[in-house]
Amino acid sequence: MAAMKDIRNIVILTGAGVSAESGIDTFRSEGGLWEQHRVEDVATPEAFARDPDLVLRFYDMRREAIQTKQPNAAHFALAKLDTEWPCELLIVTQNVDDLHERAGARRVLHMHGEHLLAWCTACDVRSPWTATLIQRPPCPECGERALRPDVVWFGEMPYRMEEIYAALREADLFVSIGTSGAVYPAAGFVRNARELGAATLELNLEASQGTHWFDEARHGPATQIVPEWVEEMLGD
Ligand code: OAD
C-alpha cells in the first residue's frame, strides 16, 4: 500500500453494506428474495414491461423505507473525509438511498440512480420524488403518466461512467466499502485502479468476491472500520 503521505486523490466506491447498519437490507443477504422474487427478476426493464405494478410496488416500498432511515457512523465519517480532504475525492455509490448526502457528503456520484428521483420516459426529465408511483401520477414537467424509478436496472448502463473512469485515472487510492463485488462494472473498478497505479483498499464485513485484487483488506462492520480508516487518513 502506498505511503499515506503520497496519497492525494481518492476514489471511494460504496455499496449496500455501508447502509446495512442504518437498517436498509443489502441485496445478497437472506437469499436476496423479495416476496418470493429474486431481486434480479424485479430490477430489469423486461420485468417492468411484463408486470409494471410489481416493479413499481417494489420500488415504492424501498423509497418509503429509506425515508425512515438515518445515516450511520460510516456515512458520517465519509462526509467528514469529504469535507476535510484537501485534494480530489469522489464517492461513487451503487446505493440509491440518500444517506451519504444526509450525512453531509457533497462529492457523491450515484452510478445506479436514486430512489428519490422519478424519471419521465416521455420527456426525459428527472423530478424529485418522495411519494409512490404505483398510481401512475403525471410527470410534473410534461403531464404524461410515464414516470419510472430513476434506478439503473440490470441490463441498463450505469450513469456517469466517463466521470468515474476519469476520477480513477487521477486516483492515488481506491477504496471499496460494503460491496460484494458481484455486479459489474463497479466490481471491475479495483482492477482499473490497480492498472492505473492506485493503491487499493477493501473495507467490508467479509472478504468480497474480488478481495484478492486489493492491496489490503480490512473486515468488520462499516460503522467501526470506516471511521477508523478516516481517522487514519485525516491524522486525527
Ligand atoms: P450486496 O448486497 O451484493 O453486498 C453487500 C456487501 O456488504 C456484502 O459483501 C456484505 O458482506 C457487506 N456488508 C453487509 N453488512 C455490512 C456492514 N455492516 N458493514 C460492512 N459491510 C457489510 O450489495 P452491493 O455490492 O451494493 O444494483 O450490490 C451491488 C448492486 O447489486 C446494487 O447496487 C444493486 C444490486 O443489484 C442495482 O440495483 C443496479
pLDDT value, residue 37: 72
**Closest among 2, 163, 1 to 88, alpha carbons compared:** 163
pLDDT value, residue 6: 85
Ligand 1 atom at shortest distance from the alpha carbon of 222:
19
Q: Per-residue pLDDT tens, the chain, 236 aa: give them.
A: 545 668 999 999 999 999 999 998 887 766 555 656 777 778 999 999 999 999 999 999 999 999 999 999 999 999 999 999 999 999 999 999 999 999 999 999 999 999 999 999 999 999 999 999 999 999 999 999 999 999 999 999 999 999 999 999 999 999 999 999 989 999 999 999 999 999 999 999 999 999 999 999 999 999 999 999 999 999 97
**Closest among 14, 35, 177, 166 to 96, alpha carbons compared:** 14
List 75, 100, 110, 112, catalytic entry: 112
Q: Whose CA is nearest to atom 14 of ligand 1?
A: 17
Listed in order, strand segments (DSSP E) in the chain are 10-14, 33-34, 37-38, 89-93, 108-110, 113-120, 126-128, 147-151, 173-177, 199-204, 216-219
Contact 81, 153 (CB under 8 A): no
Q: Which residues neighbour 134 within 8 Å (Cβ) at sequence distance 6 or greater?
A: 53, 56, 57, 60
177 lines ligand 1 (CB under 6 A): no
Cα 12 to middle of ligand 1, angstroms: 14
pLDDT value, residue 28: 74
179 lines ligand 1 (CB under 6 A): yes
H helical segments located in 96-184: 99-103, 161-170
180 lines ligand 1 (CB under 6 A): yes
112 a catalytic residue: yes
Cα 146 to middle of ligand 1, angstroms: 30
SS (H, E, C) 88-100: CEEEEECCCCCHH
Burial (CB < 10 A; 0-12, 13-18, 19+), residue 235, is: exposed
